[in-house]
Structure 1
Amino acid sequence: MNDAVAGAWRKLKGHQTRTLAQLFADGDRLELLSHRLEWGEGDLAAGMQCDWSKTHLNADLLADFEALADAAGFAAKRAAMFAGERINNTEDRAAEHTAQRGLGKDSSVEEASALHLRMKMLVEAIHQGVLGEVNHLIHIGIGGSALGPALAVDALSRDLSLVDVHVVSNIDGVALEAAFDACDPATTMIAIASKTFTTIETMTNAESALKWLAENGVDDPAGRVVALTANPDAAVAWGVDETRVLPFPETVGGRYSLWSSIGFPVAISVGWDEFDQMLAGAAAVDAHFRETDGAANLPLRAAFADQYYTQMRGCQTRAVFAYDERLGLFPDYLQQLEMESNGKSVTANGEPVSGPTAPVTWGGVGTDAQHAVFQLLHQGTHLIPVDFIASIAPGDDLDPAHHRILLTNCFAQGAALMAGEHNDDPARAFPGDRPSATILCDDLDAATLGALIAFHEHRTFANAVLMGINPFDQFGVELGKAIAKKIEAGGSDFDASTEALLAAAGLSG
């Protein structure tokens, strides 16, 4: 940590803690901390309100966090990312997911456009029946190759589903069998999503899927496969026809890859126009993030709040609750995005970090979560910052009372966490002064989903810059996989507990 960054942190940590009630008494919190982010034009104009007024941020803290961002080189690192420079220093590569949305190095944007056109042609050929009748797609991947597609398909396909998509990630055969049971092999295609085309869980599931097709009368199982990969040669060598290999660049990381050919199942499910709108919503947030400085930059402001609670208030977790059934998988998606990106203990220079990094991200869906975990949020001993996400427009055609009750519960929870309630009976007392933020979307359409995801990608990057870490590598996932391979190969000499477990399961050498 350089002297300027250390000094900025010392100043931040010298702030006196004030209650939310005191902060609201000072003046117009909404003018300071609640702002709208918009995209689209005309009939397609939309947006979301980003309200951080129920956090403990204030004007002085924002100014000092801006000073921290300057000391940490935020503007230069942001520019380097959009310029396609090799900001992922541990793997010596760029991080070019924004180029997939049209903002980045010119050559990378051109390459992304060409690869999108290739994917669009295949998607439209499938929808037009050129490859025969296709009613089902089993999408096989893991991590970012599955979480993003699963989220987007679940969120967008409830009213429009051109092809029935099943996302399978777990190596547990129960997951793959469930997909088989839901699909007709005669009208099913298989998408194999793997950056390297060597991921053991994905390739094992893929082999079983081809076997299932063959055992159920499909003459050319390999002819029903689409490969989504940064290693097209490996896909062709595995047996996929090169016309059905959809590449994406090595510089697009797995958890940032939904915008590339990894988004194929989304386009297959809801159509190319919807996928394109998702890209457009993300691009609007990219433009805001790239062109806006200081606390007016909404993802950066969210990172200021994140850092305040982890570094200055000792919060070890952050909760996210989507008050929209269509975003039921959003907390799962954020878990990987935030914890795989920023769950580090060394800086980008390989030095030990000087404080906590990523908190544990967790959450659920309202109103279900209110009857499960909100007891701890309101009266537990942990201080847990909460994000609420909701849509003004309902996702259903039922009695409007459903959506009215949903939204009133969402807003009531934030108000209750902040205000608390005195009671002479300690068991019925609520301390209050518990922070929350709310993202209120006009509607949950494809563009809004893209904007939400991009907002959190940039929030994650901003947090990493403020902490001085590299959010684009993930070496922490490798050690367990290496030991699993050693076990699979018949290795021995493990600890006594592992040896006993292997023996009990019949897996000893």
Structure 2
Amino acid sequence: MRSELKNHANRLQQQPLKTLAAARAGDAPLEAAGWKISVARHFLDASAQASLLQHGAEAALVKAGEDLFGGAIVNPSEGRPALHWALRAPARLTGEAETIRQSVIPALEFAAKIRSGEIRTARGEAFTAVLHIGIGGSDFGPRLIADAFEDLAHPAIKLRFAANVDPYDLDRAMAGLDPASTLVIGVSKSFGTEETLYNLGRARAWLEEKLDDDAARHLALVTANPEKAKAWLGGHDAYTFDMPISVGGRFSLWSAASLACMIYLGPGAFRKILNGANEMDEHVRTAPLESNAAMRLALLDFWNTSIREKPMRVLLAYANRLRMLPTYLQQLEMESNGKSVDSAGNYVAPPTAPALWGGEGSVGQHSYHQWLHQGSQDVPCEFILAPDYDRDSDGLDAL
């Protein structure tokens, strides 16, 4: 099948993209969870698309989805399922998946108590700031959510992030904050991440300088290794929350790892985010291959990278709310995909998955878009538009 797809790619490369796109302009877009996705502007025609779908069927993409949502071992190197989807499930599940689903509830309840004032500072006052410390998957996801929905934030709560081991990152995050009214949240699945422990140690010292033994009452730790966290606390009690071992760090934004966002935006807003994600889960779980948005987009990546040998994909977010989406997806995809060996350790002939980069669409038009439009490389680009229709109409028309 790969050789057949290569033949299609060679044939279509001789045709202008404009001509191919015009021929497919009438194709109905994919629809999923409120999104409409046009895949018409690619080096594909009906024949090549049929072969690509056949390849997806032969590669058992639908079976892979069933295994994921069925709790099968899909992480063979660690012998575990990948149950991040259970965090988003609205109804009771069974077995380990239900344990995963339940794990986010204490964080949501804690957030509600912080916002209502039921849980207060060591001095009996309301918390007015949250400092989130994590890195990688424990940082990018919460940053994305907090930035995207900043207009829903509690007006009396500031939210800051620190990830870099460079001391200035934490210095900048703590600037202007009072330790007596700040909750420090540390997120590390292993509780062994060097950068996170460094920043957490400095933040704890900052709290202790003002609060002494009460500093632990201003600490919340999210981890899959509570014993390590307990040892780090040195006998003091702090708020602790579970990050399930079957949830990869890069998917942890749906878990208690986003405790800072639950406090900042409110548990109600965060539940809506979980419900929206569950709606997409249901689409991926039930839609047939030909109309399954996630599987079709995965096949496009395979087509452009492994068949057409285009090493990059550019994500252009024409929505200020989603300006951090390319950064988040870089970590999500490039920490996982594009390896030189398969899940059994066998060498895979490159190229596999693309390098992902991009940014805010309108801003990029005055930067690297010139290279994309006028440069010598053929680079697949993904345009995302998610306008707030109740905002200024002239700006929306310009988008």
Q: Could you state the TM-score of these two structures normalised by the residue count of structure 2?
A: 0.92
Task: Verify the 8 A CA contact 1:62 1:295 in the aligned structure 2.
Answer: no
Residue 232 of structure 1 aligns with an amino acid whose one-letter code is: P
Aligned to 2:39: 52
By how many angstroms is 1:114 displaced?
Answer: 2.3
Confirm or deny that 1:331 pairs with 2:326.
Answer: yes
Give the counterpart letter for 1:209 in structure 2.
Answer: A
Q: Distance in 2 between matches of 1:241 and 1:100?
A: 29
Alignment partner for residue 346 of structure 1, among 341, 353, 357? Answer: 341
The answer on 1:29 being equivalent to 2:16 is: no
| 2:172 is the alignment partner of 1:178 | yes
Equivalent runs, 1:85-104 vs 2, <5 Å: 85-102=72-89
How many residue pairs are counted as aligned between the two chains?
387
Q: How far does residue 20 in structure 1 lie from its aligned partner after superposition?
A: 2.6
Map 1:401-480 onto structure 2 (within 5 A). Answer: 401-405=394-398, 407=399
2:251 equivalent to 1:256: yes
8 Å CA contact 2:186–2:222 kept in 1: the answer is yes
AA matched with 2:301: D
**1:138 alignment partner in structure 2:** 131
Q: Which amino acid is 2:209 matched to? A: E
The residue number in structure 2 matching 1:20 is: 17
Runs of 4+ in 1 over 4 A off after TM superposition: 240-243
Residues 138 and 189, structure 1, Cα contact 8 Å, conserved in 2? yes
Pick from 276, 279, 287 the counterpart of residue 274 of structure 2: 279
**Distance in 1 (alpha carbons) for counterparts of 2:89 and 2:237:** 26
Structure 1 unaligned residues grouped into runs of 5+: 1-7, 39-46, 408-509
Report the 3-state secondary structure (helix = DSSP H, G, I; strand = E; otherwise coil) of the residue aligned with 2:104.
helix
The more displaced of 318-327 and 102-111 is 102-111
AA at the equivalent of 2:19: Q
* Residue aligning to 2:67: 80
Q: 2:146 aligns with which of 132, 153, 160?
A: 153
Q: Deviations over 1:64-88 (max 9, x none)?
A: 1222122222222221111111111
Gaps in structure 2 of 5+ consecutive residues: 121-125
C-alpha distance in structure 2 between counterparts of 1:188 and 1:110, whole Å: 33
Q: What is the CA-CA distance between 1:219 and the residue it aligns to?
A: 4.9
- Work out whether residues 75 and 81 of structure 2, in 8 Å CA contact, stay in contact via their aligned partners in 1: yes
SS at match of 1:364: strand
Q: How far did residue 21 of structure 1 move?
A: 2.8
CA distance in 1, matches of 2:22, 2:312: 28
Greater Cα offset, 323-332 or 111-120: 111-120
| Residue 282 to residue 241, structure 1, CA distance change in 2 (3 Å) | farther
> For residue 488 of structure 1, what is the aligned residue in structure 2?
none
Residue of structure 2 equivalent to 1:400: 393
- Structure 1 match to 2:202: 208
What is the match of residue 123 of structure 2?
none
Change (3 A) 1:102 1:109: farther
Offset of residue 304 of structure 1: 1.8
Aligned partner letter, 1:149:
P
Deviations 1:261-290 (A, max 9, x none): 112111111000111111111111111111
Q: Find the aligned partners of 1:86 and 1:242 in 2 and give their Cα distance.
A: 36
- Alignment counterpart, residue 2 of structure 2, candidates 6, 9, 16: 9
- Residue number among 276, 284, 288 corresponding to 1:289 in the alignment: 284
Q: Deviations over 1:230-268 (max 9, x none)?
A: 112222222286672110210100001111111211111
CA distance in 1, matches of 2:250, 2:22: 41
1:403 is displaced (CA, Å) by 2.6
Task: Indicate conservation of the 8 Å contact 1:145/1:262, yes or no.
Answer: yes
TM-score (norm 1): 0.73
The 1-side partners of 2:141 and 2:356 are apart by: 16
Name which of structure 1's ranges 107-116 and 184-193 shifts more when overlaid on structure 2.
107-116
Task: Give the distance between the partners of 1:72 and 1:36, measured in 2 at CA.
Answer: 23
SS in 1 for 2:296: helix
The structure 1 residue matched to 2:109, chosen from 115, 121, 134, is 121
Task: Name the counterpart of 1:108.
Answer: 96
Residue type of the partner of 2:73? Answer: R
For residues 329 and 340 of structure 2, what CA distance do their matches in structure 1 show? Answer: 20
Identity of aligned residues (%): 34
| 8 Å Cα contact 2:5/2:51 also seen in 1 | yes
CA distance in 1, matches of 2:297, 2:254: 23
Letter in 2 for 1:119: A
Instruction: Give distance in 2, aligned partners of 1:75 and 1:270.
Output: 36
Match of 2:358 in 1: 363
